[in-house]
Amino acid sequence: MSGDGELVFRNICPRNCYGTCGMLSYVKDGRLIKVEGDPQHGYTKGRLCLKGYAYPEYVYHSRRLRYPLRQYPRGSGQWQRISWDEALTAISEKILELNTRYGSNLALSYNKFSGNLGFLHQAVEGMFNSFGPHTKAIGDPCLAAGSDALVYDCGEATGPDPESMAEAELIVIWGVNPAWTAVHQLHFIEKARDRGVPVVVIDPLFTATAAKADLYLQIQPGTDGLLALAVLKILHEEEKLEQTAIRDYISGWEPFEAYLMAKIDLEAAAEQIGIDAAGIRELAVLYARHHPAANWVGFGVQRHANGGQTVRAVNALTALTGNLGVKGGGLFYCYLAGQNFAQTISQVAGPVPNRLINFNHFPQEALKLQDPPLKFLWIASRNPLSQDPAVKNWEKLIAQLEMVVTVDLFMSQTAEKSDIVLPASSHFEELDLNTSFWHRWVGINEPAIPPFYEAKSDLQIARELTARLNELAPGFSAFPSHLSPEDWLDQEFTPEILRLLGIDSWQDLKKAPRKLPVHLNPWQDRVFKTGDKKFSLYTKEGKAKNFPALPRYKSLSAPGEYPLRLLTPQHLNRIHSQYSTLDSLNPDEESNSIEIHPRTAGSRGITEGDWVSVYNETGSGLLRARLNPTLPVNVVMAYQGGGKPINSLIPALFTDMGVKSTGNTGLAFYDVFVNIEKSRGEAHA
Ligand SMILES: Nc1nc2c(c(=O)[nH]1)N[C@H]1C(S)=C(S)[C@@H](COP(=O)(O)OP(=O)(O)OC[C@H]3O[C@@H](n4cnc5c(=O)[nH]c(N)nc54)[C@H](O)[C@@H]3O)O[C@H]1N2
Ligand SMILES: Nc1nc2c(c(=O)[nH]1)N[C@H]1C(S)=C(S)[C@@H](COP(=O)(O)OP(=O)(O)OC[C@H]3O[C@@H](n4cnc5c(=O)[nH]c(N)nc54)[C@H](O)[C@@H]3O)O[C@H]1N2
Ligand SMILES: [Mo]
């Protein structure tokens, strides 16, 4: 309790973001009045991003969903408020009717990703598991190729504690924009800079992070692999590679060296990368002079057809310069700390022989299903009509489905196309456990305020829906609907986890988040979880999986009719499509723009503020031109999310890797080519 009858609670931001920030929420008379950073959180250290501070506006937003709604006919915009009782009965009756019609639950599926990454939101997976065999989507649209690159080379997708980046002597940021997407990491980067440590940023876009760099290399998208190989060739010729590493814990050096010497030519590489050879040499000099070097590989780097091989080339550079397993150095990509927990709620009823489809090709594959066709879809923590490639296919799929239920806090583009929309609670309204995909801090998210109107958590909805199903058809669901959120958390905190965290019970985390001291400096013993226990430059599995055994560079050129590369990175003030409703963060005038180099615009008669038509074989969209002289002339850029028609231009293109760690290849969101012309008419924006 602070002054004035205010109560203070600990929350954790559950968004799909590097920070997973510790927050303090101030509550008066049951109302969230202010959110601050939790100073006890050792990674986020009492600071939040703008989106975090704006949570009171988000929670009480006039457009937040209050009640269950039903739309008839679907897509008509004619919404009717219904009671939870009606909603649960209508959904249950449909599920049971489909089960009777087809003799199984294979006509049912769900699509869930990253709206809220809290553990108890895995109740959605648990609920579907409790129905027995159903249609399940496998894959990851975000990080698949890079994860596989780590698995092939190092035996597991892990990386050092990001706090240790502060101890690096050189920091090289390959395609990450932490000034926008991982703001807390800047603290650790700045700590190193205070000691004079050089920071390099490699990015086709001159980002806010690039603006801070000591050396900025503006490369052509998808060419990082070639850059890493060119640097390696220079270092090899100058005898600057770490010979003990090659001797003791790296395998495949001979074929790798042969490839480097035969195929990598500095001048030709510089041309393709789009920078001077001097820039490549400068980077090589930095690696030769400074040790340990931290290589941070962002997710943007692997959103390309050759994304996995690109990450493997940077892995090779890290290993051959002796930077793996050295405190302060290493390869930073991501580490899913949740894997240390049992995640029991997602595994209700044990393994189920599901009918599997590709998450990254969901509507296309779902449309092909027969015996039975897909008829029922549950959408939670997900806005595919904004975030998926080839969004038009979603409209086709929805047309064939008999019932679409979306659980969300807002009327997203996907909710708008649903039959039933159920209001989700915000994380301030529920208990949860949160870990990060980046740092090692673990926190409890306390319920701080009562649910907003009739909103319910995904867990509460799973409990009530499975109970209703079992009332109507005893034994239909094996979901233990009697278990409370506290019961589920009890199962996660095993004696081993409690010991590692240094606490007696999970309730202790209400006093402060704690750090899980695991994988802080992986590979410090230079033993890898690969077949021969060495770092693999040469991956035998590659051939069988359709990529070369060595991290070879493969170029990609623009098709003639669509000469401009479209990059659609993340926006500072959104998380994907989220927060676009917050006017204070996302003013209208920003939301429909595409950035173009003045020369590219000029050659098409386009000036600042003109409406332009952006098009390719997949689709088209009308956007407002913003001239940006810092872009490469052949690159145009529009931030994803925010209600733009951008994903209708993005085909479902796949990365080279991803199957091993996520079940399917990832998405090459950044290998998209378009053309642009000045639009004759004004957009009805
Ligand atoms: N504010 C904010 N923060 C976020 C998110 C958000 O939406 N908004 N989303 C979260 C999520 S889910 C994710 S996955 C992360 C993603 O965050 P990041 O890891 O930063 O990834 P991206 O924004 O996809 O791309 C980062 C940079 O990669 C560059 N890039 C594109 N292609 C290449 C290339 O071939 N080589 C190089 N060197 N650079 C390239 C882009 O220009 C961009 O500046 O951010 C998380 N944090
Ligand atoms: N063009 C382009 N597209 C991209 C990318 C890109 O770089 N370019 N990046 C891709 C990446 S990296 C990612 S991670 C994906 C993200 O794809 P999604 O996970 O679909 O992203 P969001 O837009 O964050 O949608 C999450 C939805 O969940 C809702 N939500 C929030 N909390 C809860 C909750 O507690 N319960 C329920 N039921 N719903 C909740 C939110 O309101 C929101 O509508 O997008 C991908 N799409
Ligand atoms: Mo992501």
- DSSP character string of 419-455: SEEEEBPPGGGS-EEE--SSS-EEEEE---SPPSTT-
Q: Give a yes or no: residue 272 inside a domain.
A: yes
pLDDT at residue 684 in the model: 47
What's the pTM? Answer: 0.97
What is the C-alpha to C-alpha distance for residues 384 and 361, in angstroms, rounded to an integer? Answer: 11
One domain for residues 594 and 529: no
One domain for residues 176 and 261: yes
pLDDT at residue 292 in the model: 98
Ligand 1 within 6 A of CB of 221: yes
62 phi and psi, to 5 degrees? -65, -20
Ligand 2 within 6 A of CB of 166: no
Q: Locate the ligand 2 atom nearest the alpha carbon of residue 570 and give its number.
A: 7
Which of 278, 312, 201, 216 is CA-nearest to residue 554? 312
Domain extent, residue 167, equals: 160-333+521-544
Q: Locate the ligand 1 atom nearest the alpha carbon of residue 51 and give its number.
A: 1
b (16+ CB within 10 A) / e for 592-616: bbbbbbeebbeebebeeebbbbbbb
Q: Give a yes or no: residue 190 inside a domain.
A: yes
Q: 3-state class of 487 per DSSP?
A: helix
Ligand nearest to the CA of 58: 2
Q: Give a yes or no: residue 623 inside a domain.
A: yes
Instruction: Give the count of alpha carbons within 13 A of 485, CB side only.
Output: 23
Q: Give a yes or no: residue 346 inside a domain.
A: no
One domain for residues 130 and 226: no
pLDDT at residue 645 in the model: 81
pLDDT at residue 581 in the model: 85
What is the distance in A from the centroid of ligand 2 to the CA of 385?
Answer: 10
Q: Give a yes or no: residue 318 inside a domain.
A: yes
One domain for residues 535 and 591: no
Q: How far is CA 371 from CA 178, 187, 393, 396, 552, in A?
A: 47, 55, 21, 19, 42
**What is the DSSP pairing of strand 376-380 with strand 403-408?**
parallel
One domain for residues 226 and 327: yes
What is the distance in A from the centroid of ligand 2 to the CA of 53?
Answer: 20
Domain CATH number, residue 454:
3.40.50.740
Which of 39, 81, 75, 35 is CA-nearest to residue 55? 35
Domain CATH number, residue 49:
3.30.200.210
Q: Give a yes or no: residue 271 inside a domain.
A: yes
One domain for residues 208 and 287: yes
* Nearest CA owner, ligand 1 atom 22: 300
Domain count, the chain: 4
Ligand 1 within 6 A of CB of 180: yes
Ligand nearest to the CA of 669: 2
One domain for residues 231 and 274: yes
Ligand 1 within 6 A of CB of 177: yes
* Nearest CA owner, ligand 1 atom 11: 17
Ligand 2 within 6 A of CB of 113: yes
What is the distance in A from the centroid of ligand 1 to the CA of 182?
Answer: 9
What is the distance in A from the centroid of ligand 3 to the CA of 437?
Answer: 10
What is the distance in A from the centroid of ligand 3 to the CA of 26?
Answer: 30
Q: Locate the ligand 2 atom nearest the alpha carbon of residue 646 and give its number.
A: 1
What is the distance in A from the centroid of ligand 1 to the CA of 210?
Answer: 13
* Nearest CA owner, ligand 1 atom 16: 299
Q: Locate the ligand 1 atom nearest the alpha carbon of residue 176 and give its number.
A: 20
What is the distance in A from the centroid of ligand 1 to the CA of 67?
Answer: 35
Structure token digits, residue 73: 């006919």
One domain for residues 208 and 311: yes
Taking the CB of residue 29, how many other CB atoms lie within 10 A of it? Answer: 9
One domain for residues 326 and 407: no
Low-confidence ranges of the chain (pLDDT < 70): 1-3, 587-590, 681-685
Q: Locate the ligand 2 atom nearest the alpha carbon of residue 379 and give its number.
A: 38
One domain for residues 643 and 502: no
What is the C-alpha to C-alpha distance for residues 250 and 245, in angstroms, rounded to an integer? Answer: 6
Domain CATH number, residue 529:
3.40.228.10
b (16+ CB within 10 A) / e for 448-478: bbebbebbbbbbbbbbbbbebbbeeeeebbb
What is the distance in A from the centroid of ligand 1 to the CA of 621?
Answer: 22
Ligand nearest to the CA of 181: 1
To test ligand 2's pocket by mutation, which of 576, 636, 655 has the most ligand atoms within 8 angstroms of CB? Answer: 576
Structure token digits, residue 550: 């060595």
Ligand 2 within 6 A of CB of 142: yes
Q: Give a yes or no: residue 556 inside a domain.
A: no
Phi-psi region of 651 (alpha: psi -120 to 50; beta: other; left: phi over 0): beta
Ligand 1 within 6 A of CB of 299: yes
What is the C-alpha to C-alpha distance for residues 408 and 66, in angstroms, rounded to an integer? Answer: 10
Rg (CA), the chain: 25
pLDDT at residue 589 in the model: 60
Q: 3-state class of 247 per DSSP?
A: helix
* Nearest CA owner, ligand 1 atom 12: 16
What is the distance in A from the centroid of ligand 3 to the CA of 47?
Answer: 22
* Nearest CA owner, ligand 1 atom 31: 300
Q: Where are the beta strands (DSSP E) in 516-582?
A: 535-536, 564-567
Q: Please, which residues have CB within 8 angstroms of residue 31's CB and are 6 or more apart in sequence?
A: 60, 449
- Contact, 597 vs 587, CB < 8 A? no
Ligand nearest to the CA of 16: 1
Which of 601, 607, 595 is CA-nearest to residue 637? 595
Ligand nearest to the CA of 118: 2
Ligand 1 within 6 A of CB of 565: no
Q: Give a yes or no: residue 457 inside a domain.
A: yes
Strand partners, 173: 201, 296
Ligand nearest to the CA of 309: 1
One domain for residues 12 and 87: no
Q: Locate the ligand 1 atom nearest the alpha carbon of residue 207 and give its number.
A: 44
What is the distance in A from the centroid of ligand 1 to the CA of 177?
Answer: 6
Ligand 2 within 6 A of CB of 381: yes
One domain for residues 286 and 381: no
What is the distance in A from the centroid of ligand 3 to the CA of 169?
Answer: 29
pLDDT at residue 681 in the model: 66
Ligand 2 within 6 A of CB of 220: no
Which of 387, 432, 388, 382 is CA-nearest to residue 405? 382
The continuous run of DSSP H or E covering 70 comes out as strand 69-71
Ligand nearest to the CA of 635: 1
What is the distance in A from the centroid of ligand 1 to the CA of 150?
Answer: 18
131 phi and psi, to 5 degrees? -85, -5
